[in-house]
Chain A
Amino acid sequence: MTTASIHEITLNLGPQHPSTHGVYRSILRLVGETVTSAENIIGYLHRGMEKLAESRTFTQFIPYTDRIDYLSPMICNHGYCCAVETLLGVEIPERADYLRVLMDELSRIAAHLVFLGTMAIDLSSTTGWMYCYREREKILDLFEMVTGSRMTVSYMRIGGVSADLTDEFEPACRKFIADFPAFIEEFNNLLTGNEIFLARTVNIGALGAEKAIAFGVTGPNLRASGVKFDIRRFEPYSVYDRFDFDIPIRTKGDSFDRFIIRIDEMVQSIRIIEQALNGMPEGPIMGKVPKLLKVPQGESYFVVESSKGALGYYLVSDGGTKPYRLHIRGPSFLNIGVFPEMAAGWKIQDIIAILASLDPVLGEIDR
């Protein structure tokens, strides 16, 4: 009589896969449906941005920053411009700062909507995905009004922003923030309270606070594990210290917490947008910056709170027109570093939920 034995099989997830959020690849070892180990393989979207930065002028590099986190491009623009401005020592006009914050928060909402939509569709709720993208269309329309572009906006410049708000922007934006609570309610009715959704996400993939910090996880993933760390509060940049908003925290750190916290963050972003619109000062949108930009010798490390976590720019200048070295700290690069540890022991369907809840963006991971 032959004895049956259970073999471990190796399954390749991606880079072409409906649920890997881009060209992410993982090699899973499975026993039945349970994952025993997962290995990250990245680099499929590596475009050599850091090397390219060394042969582009400071202003020429701004469109490249859009492609770092292409879902919230404004924030990436912002971080880079601030890193250069720190070395330049230029004063940013107040109106430009307000515009930057306004656009950052719209961008954050847009990115979180993609997160909610992709998390919904990864759990096979196509309808949830459609509803999120319907709302995102409104934000992309707002971006198009001001910058002419929907996704890769290249809106900010060294010293300010490139364009002022048009007349149609403010009423459209106010309408968007007025309609948003109704969307949140509709979405919660569809998905957040759904038994099947809860069974797929509650207590799945819990990440402890200490492990998260050790792995360099930042952003909503860290805050869902109970650590109150937000760059906008830790070291406020731009005019964030003038706005009144809360930092949502969840305690369990499971996939459901990571899901809910981003809904809460969107609500807070709406508050900031409203305050920015109300308090927007008049004035120029661009500071005094020479046409041929030569940044004095030195180095700066500037961190902004992107929708995925702490986005850091390390800029070294040798006094010329091009960066000597630019290093980009992509939050998702560290966030998925903890994924192999989180994935072990769960079923295939669970790791899809876990990966979705970490909200990785390949542009940041690979640069």
Chain B
Amino acid sequence: MVQALENIFVNIAAWTRSTSIDFGLNTSIADFVVLLLGIGAIIGLITFNAILLVWWERKVAGFVQQRPGPNRLGPAGIFQSVADALKLLSKEDIVPSQTDKWVFRIAAPLVFVPAIMLYAVIPFGQGMVPVDLNVGLFYCFSIASLGTMSFLMAGWGSCNKYSLIGGMRTVAQMISYEIPLLLSVMGVVMISGSLNMSAIVAAQKSIWFVFLQPIGFVIFFMAATAELNRGPFDLPEGEQELVAGVYTEYSGMRWALFFLAEYTNLVAMSAIAVTLFFGGWQGPFLPSWMWFFIKVYVVVFVFMWVRWTFPRIRIDHLMNFSWKVLIPVALANILFTGIGLEIYKLVGR
């Protein structure tokens, strides 16, 4: 029974493929059809996820702040997201006259693109990687860094000083924190010996990397919070200082797209964290993909918990923290991991 549940997606993909071939399509087109199915599934996942997280963030916030959170629409307020989506869709699309039209308009959907592309290499379960790249991890971080551009577009295109300051901050922040993000996972790469996401998961058969690389995980977590523009590193939005920072001139669905993209990114980063540090989809009894999602949502909860607890850090402290604290510690981590690996090899002989 568990086995059937486990292989459900693999079986659907195989059945689609065989059925397409039966209908007379040749194999490469059949593969393409399976690929389209995969893309559809990911987009469905992202949409479901965005709806879920909008509700869940507010529930977690309420929990931390000792209040119920949304509780009017549906049991425990689960239809709140639907109400929010309907409201945003019905709003007027205000594009201020002085903005750089195309830059302003494209920025919002554009921020989605890197976020969605990240899902291509994540192993959702056993044998469930959409595209099993050999340089999967490298691909992840290169794509993630493209997200910076859309924030700069939003900041510049808005023709608003608050947005500009927010945009500048975003670029500074995201570029600064990419380096510790990369360095923190180097230890994982060294231990597993591969950049392939499935291989990294397989290397955690006996022990999760979070126990072998605790400092690496902590640095990764902090750098990921900064990359996601989530509190305490949410300076680009900086509501209390810059009204809404980069998002000031955006309203209605365009504004919502930024936040949906943020949640998409959040789950993608959590998925990467789970893959790299928490053993991916591995776990007893339950199907692999179920374990994967449970772990991802636990990590998402921790991100939310941190956001609602801490105040915001100042921009120069942020930069200092990245360059003067995280990078040296990450480099030291790599050094000790290397030494540890050599000792392990010597002892193991």
Q: How far is the CB of B237 from chain A (nearest CB, A)?
A: 9
B98 at the interface (CB under 8 A from A): no
The number of chain B residues with a CB under 8 A from chain A is 27
A41 at the interface (CB under 8 A from B): no
B312 at the interface (CB under 8 A from A): yes
Q: What residues of B have a CB within 8 angstroms of the CB of A126 in the complex?
A: 61, 65, 308
* Contact, CB under 8 Å: A127 / B312: no
* Contact, CB under 8 Å: B240 / A196: no
The number of chain A residues with a CB under 8 A from chain B is 30
Closest to B320 in A: A199
* Contact, CB under 8 Å: B162 / A125: no
* Contact, CB under 8 Å: A199 / B314: yes
Q: What residues of B have a CB within 8 angstroms of the CB of A194 in the complex?
A: 310-311
* Contact, CB under 8 Å: B165 / A348: yes
Q: How far is the CB of A38 from chain B (nearest CB, A)?
A: 14
A-B pairs with CB below 8 Å: how many? Answer: 76
Q: How far is the CB of B127 from chain A (nearest CB, A)?
A: 42
Q: How far is the CB of A120 from chain B (nearest CB, A)?
A: 7
Q: How far is the CB of A11 from chain B (nearest CB, A)?
A: 5
Q: How far is the CB of B238 from chain A (nearest CB, A)?
A: 8
* Contact, CB under 8 Å: B240 / A33: no
* Contact, CB under 8 Å: B66 / A131: yes
Q: What residues of A have a CB within 8 angstroms of the CB of B239 in the complex?
A: 18, 124
Q: How many angstroms between the C-alpha atoms of A9 and B231 in the bound complex?
A: 27
Closest to A118 in B: B240
A124 CB contact (under 8 Å) in B165, B311, B315, B316: B311
Q: How many angstroms between the C-alpha atoms of A283 and B226 in the bound complex?
A: 63
Q: What residues of B have a CB within 8 angstroms of the CB of A350 in the complex?
A: 314
Q: How many angstroms between the C-alpha atoms of A207 and B172 in the bound complex?
A: 32
Q: How many angstroms between the C-alpha atoms of A179 and B232 in the bound complex?
A: 30
Q: How many angstroms between the C-alpha atoms of A214 and B121 in the bound complex?
A: 65
B64 at the interface (CB under 8 A from A): yes
Q: How many angstroms between the C-alpha atoms of A121 and B165 in the bound complex?
A: 20
* Contact, CB under 8 Å: A130 / B311: no
Q: What residues of B have a CB within 8 angstroms of the CB of A197 in the complex?
A: 311
B317 CB contact (under 8 Å) in A9, A128, A199: A199
Q: What residues of B have a CB within 8 angstroms of the CB of A124 in the complex?
A: 231-232, 234, 239-240, 311-312
Q: What residues of B have a CB within 8 angstroms of the CB of A120 in the complex?
A: 311
Hey, which bits of chain B sit against chain A, CB under 8 A? 61, 64-67, 161-162, 165, 231-232, 234, 238-243, 308-317
Give me the 7 closest cross-chain CB pairs, A-B, nearest first.
A124-B312, A130-B65, A125-B311, A123-B311, A19-B240, A122-B240, A349-B314
